Structure 1
Amino acid sequence: MKLSQLICTALLCGFSCSSIAAEREIDRVAVIVDNSVVLESDITDIVERVKRNAASQGQTLPSDAALRTQASERLIMTNLQLQMAQRMGLQISDAQLDDTIRNIAQSENLSLDAFRQQVIAEEGNYERFRERLREEMITGEVVRANVQRRVYISPQEVDSLLKLMEEQGASNEQYNLGHILISIPSQATSDDINDAKERADKVMELLRSGSDFKRIAIASSSGSNALEGGDLGWMNINEMPTLFSEAIRGRKKTDIVGPLRSGAGFHILTIFDIRGENVAEINEVKSRHILIKPSIILSEDRARSMLTEFAAKLRAGEADFAELAKQHSEDPGSKLNGGDLGWSEPDIFVPAFRDTLNRLQVNEISEPFRTEHGWHIAQVLEKRTVDATADKKRQQVYRMIFNRRYNEESANFLRELRADAHIEVRSEG
């Protein structure tokens, strides 16, 4: 459907509704985003959700106008990523979505029905939650697909950081950072930069005078985590952007740092919390799996039912796992080894596979589960805890560098996506 038709449909819907209940507010197009639109009801939904969450946590919020601005920006970025996903042919099937929800419920020790009731109690609409989760999965895949190929880490980089950490006796402390970004345009003039610097200085004044960091972040930040109060989550200092790590080193909890200048604008940081991380021991599993990939010929349901049949035969002792894998698995890396994946940390696998391995007992056969690669059944053969050898330390250092570079490139990718888009915010009149 063309954009003009989308807008026309929304308006026609409004006219027909007004004849039934003139006093009821008509849904309208709030923002045009390239070939799609953001509706007023979508913005209202996010604002109300943020208010509910803040009320449950006893947190104060900025004005409704500030919340609306942040909600609009969040929806604009989601919309742009969904349009890119459509061009890339990226989709999340109902089966993948159901499996993700099942994993979330199990991680919270809830049955599917109990989890559904919890979502309804907290959010009011389970189907809306499902579709929002689907969108989050799709946008996550868009970022991964476009950013991973930008990240290259040489062995020399790993060696250098490993040596530096050993020389400095680097600790395993993690920091829960808060972040406020006062952005500047991609082709900023000196006036744009000066204006942003003034706004950043005013934010610093408010924070130093005791204003709540999360409230100011929601009101003022252009960062992707603004609606979460600027919360960046837990990171080792070597996983942060270099600009952040150099500024945070040696700082204490609740310190305010900034403004720090980068190509994106001016950054203001705080340390919400600090914790130690014990990485002396690593949990590994020896596992194997069978992968069936749905296709034009093989439907999702048929792929899943094949694996259900395999699992039943294996549990009954009527089949051999290795033989089934050699005959049927579509994972070229493990097929010839009977599906054997060897010893590894579960965290190296995609989330659905990782979560399944973590749940399984030794020798237990999983139910079929979906990842972006297809349908699997898996079995954990052994579990062990090992010391963090030099090789494991290299892997950890590699992950730190990767996470830092990935976060930096993700921000660059989203900024480029936003800069290249046609955005038209329609007046409320």
Structure 2
Amino acid sequence: MNLNKLLASALLGLSLSHSVFAAPVEIDKVVGIVNQGVILKSEVDTIVNRVKLQAKEQKQELPSDETLRIQAMERLVNQALMMQLAGRMGLEISDSQLDQTLVGMAKEQGGSIADLRRTIEASGESFQVYREEIRKEITTQQVMRANVDRRIYISPQEVDNLLKIMESQGQNTEEYDIGHILVDIPNNATADEIASAKTRADKVIEFLQEGKEFKRIAISSSSGSKALEGGQLGWMSINEMPSLFAEAVKGAKKEAIVGPLRSGAGFHIIKVQDIRGRQVVETTEVRSRHILINPSIILSEEKARNMLNGFAKDLRAGKADFGELAKEYSEDPGSALKGGEYDWTDPTTYVPAFRDTLLSLDKNEISDPFRTKFGWHIIQLLDTRVADKTELAKRNRAHGMLFNRKFKEESFNWQQEMREQAHVEIFPLDQ
């Protein structure tokens, strides 16, 4: 072996020896335990980096990284608890459900799924990781809905009472864009701890009254579920808010700072960011009648279609009566005895083929045969009208307000109960 080969062999051996004893490279680190699951440092970093990127795009100041990490940890603990519950419930979000959600998100941003992917990857994130985070968000929403909905009951009397209150207040058309900061109080807090929390809440109000940015203060100071979103609760009416908020916000002006309001959770600070009204609700309704023939082993698709073609021809020529044909031949038990007639209906409640055919007709016009999942139809548009649905909308709105109020209160209670029953350990992120 010549000298060059000897040197090459020695260098290779040295290189291999060095690689064997090289210092280990940290890939990830466990920063929390939630029952049998773990929270990784990379998950915390992902949330913090996303909040920072959004803040940079919106030219918004942020609190310290330590504060952001604490908020991110809280979110991940709650998410882990709900994902574990989803597993016990057997709840899974399929790829097709996930894709439908992503397509909807892309459309809201005025683009396609490919555009959404480019935007995510341009920010430095993996689109696959983003997809799985959206899957988790959908899952946790469904878990919460399934567990909280059954704790809520709204009686017709409650709806009636709320409608009367809304009318007496004259404020049933007002909605408020609400910002929220919660300065929490520990369970079984001492008098000193309560006083300390009150002092912090007063200081937050002082900052806000000096003109400090609400979202930044919320991210750094709030213990509420929307802290990382800058405390934004969104639009809601007086009757949609938790009772504690409603009494304080009622009659407040835009930009008003309300609080601190004491509850079992701590001290709440509310900002009325904007106020808006609501308009009259009108819907186009249609009155129609139809004949349904359902193909079978005896009656083929072609024969069913031809049968209806013959009916349509006779009806247009005035040789037959629509109601009599419907009573004799229609296989729709809900309308046949009434001559095939449907009363005034919002056409969007019909299946797409039925709706689209109906809306393409002029008054009294009879359609050609068309197919839906129920069978073959011909349909006649009898009339259209614009209906004032304001009262129905008010009633539906009142029910929704009561539901939203109770859902917020019950979801908070449910999450607290779930957290108290769980084993949660949080490790210092810098250990």
Could you state the TM-score of these two structures normalised by the residue count of structure 1?
Answer: 0.72
Q: Return the offset for 1:27.
A: 1.1
Structure 1 residue 283: deviation in Å?
Answer: 7.0
User: What RMSD, in angstroms, separates the aligned Cα atoms of the two structures?
Assistant: 3.8
Please tell me whether residue 362 in structure 1 is matched to residue 363 in structure 2. no
* 1:117–1:168 distance in 2 versus 1, CA, 3 Å: same
1:278 aligns with 279
1:228 aligns with 2:222: no
Q: Deviations over 1:100-121 (max 9, x none)?
A: 2223233444233233223323
Q: 1:264-288 CA distances to partner (integer Å, 9 max, x unpaired)?
A: 11100101222222243357899xx
8 Å Cα contact 1:33-1:421 kept in structure 2? yes
Contact residue 176 and residue 272 of structure 1 kept, 8 A: yes
Structure 2 counterparts to residues 101-112 of structure 1, below 5 A? 101-112=102-113
Match of 1:27, SS state, is: coil
Which ranges in structure 1 are unaligned for 5 or more consecutive residues? 1-17, 287-312, 321-334, 365-376
Q: What is the rounded CA distance, in whole Å, between the counterparts of 1:283 and 1:420 in structure 2?
A: 51
Contact 1:281 1:387 in 2 (8 A): yes
Residue type of the alignment partner of 1:41:
S
Matching residue of 1:195 = 196
| 1:84-95 equivalent positions in 2, closer than 5 A | 84-95=85-96
Map Cα deviations across residues 336-392 of structure 1 (whole Å, 9 max, x no partner): 869x9x95698xx9xxx9xx98xx98349xxxxxxxxxxxx99xx999853125343
1:227-252 deviation digits (Å, cap 9, x = unpaired): 00000011122111111111111112
Task: List aligned pairs for 1:246-395, cutoff 5 A.
Answer: 246-282=247-283, 343=345, 362-363=356-357, 386-395=387-396
CA–CA distance in structure 1, aligned partners of residues 62 and 99 of structure 2:
34
Q: What is the 5 A alignment of 1:158-237?
A: 158-237=159-238
Q: Could you tell me how far apart the structure 2 residues matched to 1:268 and 1:72 are?
A: 23
Per the alignment, do residues 169 and 30 of structure 1 end up closer, same or farther by CA in structure 2, a change over 3 Å counting?
same
Task: Identify unmatched segments of 5+ residues in structure 2.
Answer: 1-18, 288-300, 309-331, 336-341, 359-372
Change (3 A) 1:156 1:118: same
Distance change in 2, residues 1:126/1:285 (3 Å):
farther
Residues 181, 221 of structure 2: 8 Å contact kept = yes
Shift of 1:122: 4.0
SS in 2 for 1:116: helix
Paired letter, 2:39: V
Partner of 2:51: 50
User: For the residues of structure 2 that align with 1:267 and 1:43, how far apart are their CA atoms?
Assistant: 26
1:112 is matched by which residue type in structure 2? I
- Summarize the Cα distance change of 1:408–1:199 in structure 2 as closer, same or farther, 3 Å threshold: same
2:219 & 2:286 partners in 1: Cα distance? 42
Percentage identity across aligned positions?
49
Deviation at 1:130, TM superposition (A): 0.7
Secondary structure, in 3 states, of the residue corresponding to 1:99?
A: helix
Whether the aligned pair in 1 keeps the contact of 2:262 and 2:268 (CA below 8 Å) is: yes
Alignment-mate amino acid for residue 199 of structure 1: R
When normalised by structure 2's length, the TM-score is 0.71
Contact 1:172 / 1:279 at 8 angstroms: preserved in 2? no
Cα 1:394–1:426 change in 2 (3 A) is same
**Is residue 404 from structure 1 mapped to residue 402 from structure 2 by the alignment?**
no
- Answer whether contact 1:31 1:39 (CA < 8 A) is retained: yes
Query: Secondary structure of 2:239's partner?
Result: coil
- CA contact 1:282–1:345 (8 Å) conserved in 2: no
Write the letter of the residue equivalent to 2:168: E
Question: Aligned partner of 2:188: which letter?
Answer: Q
**Residue identity in the other structure for 1:209:** E
Structure 1 pair 174–151 and aligned structure 2 pair: CA distance change class (3 A):
same
Q: Please state how far the C-alpha of 1:419 moved relative to its aligned partner.
A: 2.5
Amino acid at match of 1:203: V
Equivalent residue letter for 2:184? S
| Alignment partner, residue 415 of structure 1 | 416
Contact 1:241 1:407 in 2 (8 A): yes
The alignment of Structure 1 onto Structure 2 pairs a total of residues equal to 349
The verdict on how the C-alpha distance between 1:400 and 1:284 changes in structure 2, with shifts beyond 3 A counting, is farther
Q: State the structure with more CA Rg.
A: 2
Deviation at 1:188, TM superposition (A): 3.3
